[in-house]
Amino acid sequence: MQIGKRRDRIEVLRDILTVANNPHGANKTRLVYMSNLNFNRLTEFLKFLMDKELVIKNGDENTYIITDKGRVFLKQLDQMEKML
């Protein structure tokens, strides 16, 4: 990513999925910090990711975890970036 360039939607989704790609998942605070978003924007993206079944919420620990479908999507994004 270039300095001063705004991230597009795909880059933000990839950042969130990368942070959530952890055996224990990630809570909202960690996702906000690591994906450089505010809570409101993160909430919008998380809703989208959950609707698409790329991320699930672990209610007991209030964390978000990437799904197998999300891992496949993340891998495809990484492969596309390498091709470009």
Cβ atoms of 12 and 6 within 8 Å: the answer is no
pLDDT higher than threshold 50 for residue 1: no
pLDDT tens-digit profile of 17-60? Answer: 999 999 889 999 999 999 999 999 999 999 999 999 999 998 77
Q: What is the pLDDT of residue 84?
A: 79
Instruction: Please tell me the number of Cα atoms within 13 Å of 25 on its side-chain side.
Output: 20
Q: What is the pLDDT of residue 56?
A: 96
- The average pLDDT across 68-83 equals 93
Count of beta carbons in the 10 Å neighbourhood of residue 47: 11
| Rounded CA separation 18/5 (Å) | 20
Q: What is the pLDDT of residue 4?
A: 53
Count: domains in the chain: 1
Q: Quote the domain boundaries for residue 14.
A: 9-83
Q: Is residue 2 part of a domain?
A: no
Q: Is residue 4 part of a domain?
A: no
Q: What is the pLDDT of residue 3?
A: 54
Q: Is residue 17 part of a domain?
A: yes
